[in-house]
Structure 1
């Protein structure tokens, strides 16, 4: 677990820049495996208890849980991913935009506007999501963004 003093911070503007930057020319199950494995290695290197899931369409194509992730994390993965799919932006951005308006982002049984889910966009079309859950949501977001950046750099 990360100490609160060590938590990364992300503004809405920073997340919007990440969204613009982290797009794909193509994405399939092979890419999902490579990206997911890279994310899992980041989780392992950082010593976190965190689950990573990649969904293409409605199909879970990659899932890994490391470091004694709790059983309830599966629901968090689903609910965060649903936010990114519904809104086409990272789940943390949904929360940050609401906070900028002095509001609390709407949450329900199927949607959790907490950091960790990031849309996978190919040529302007949302094709899936990568989601991390198990740490404070800004850490989940940071792991996912780190994996995306590393994958896209290669």
Structure 2
């Protein structure tokens, strides 16, 4: 399969993830349980990540495991801004924009200090409402940040991860 076709398939797969990984309700307790689940996966696998779950107006969960730094917090902030602006998984946008510099094209008018074109941000969607916030992970390569969020969401929602996971790159 040609590289362009492979990227198109991955984008379509991420859109299916976004559609499938939808909540019927989401509140502070949901955020804590989901964040704790992702943190436990990270601890079990010895992954150095920071995890943030926020609604558009406030943070509901934050945790960091060994191996993270203040830089991870900044990446989270910038990825969150991207999810908030586009209501889409940041890794999908990485693939759609196809840039190596983690920045949006200048004509988009998105300051690099506030917006990172990097995987690991995923919209929190509630059925009948739409996107209300984001789950963001930082610390791994961007595809793996994305995969960790998807894994946590699939397990939490009781969905089959095998059908949702991105195929190996």
- Same fold per TM (> 0.5)? yes
Contact 1:94 1:105 in 2 (8 A): no
Contact 2:56 2:84 in 1 (8 A): no
Query: Which residues in structure 2 correspond to 1:1-154 (within 5 Å)?
Result: 11-99=10-98, 106=104, 108-123=112-127, 124-153=129-158
Q: Which runs of 5+ in 2 are unaligned?
A: 1-6, 105-109, 160-169
**What's the TM-score once normalised by structure 1's chain length?**
0.87
Who wins on radius of gyration, i.e. which is larger?
2
Q: Which runs of 5+ in 1 are unaligned?
A: 1-8
**Deviation for aligned residue 1:47:** 1.0
Deviations 1:35-81 (A, max 9, x none): 00000011111111001000012211100000220111111001011
Report the count of equivalent residues: 145
The alignment's C-alpha RMSD in Å is 2.2
**What's the TM-score once normalised by structure 2's chain length?**
0.80
Q: Distance in 2 between matches of 1:126 and 1:70?
A: 28
Q: Which runs of structure 1 show a deviation greater than 3 angstroms over 4 or more consecutive aligned residues?
A: none
Q: 1:147 to 1:40 in 2, by over 3 A?
A: same
Q: Distance in 1 between matches of 2:103 and 2:20?
A: 24
Contact 2:72 2:138 in 1 (8 A): yes
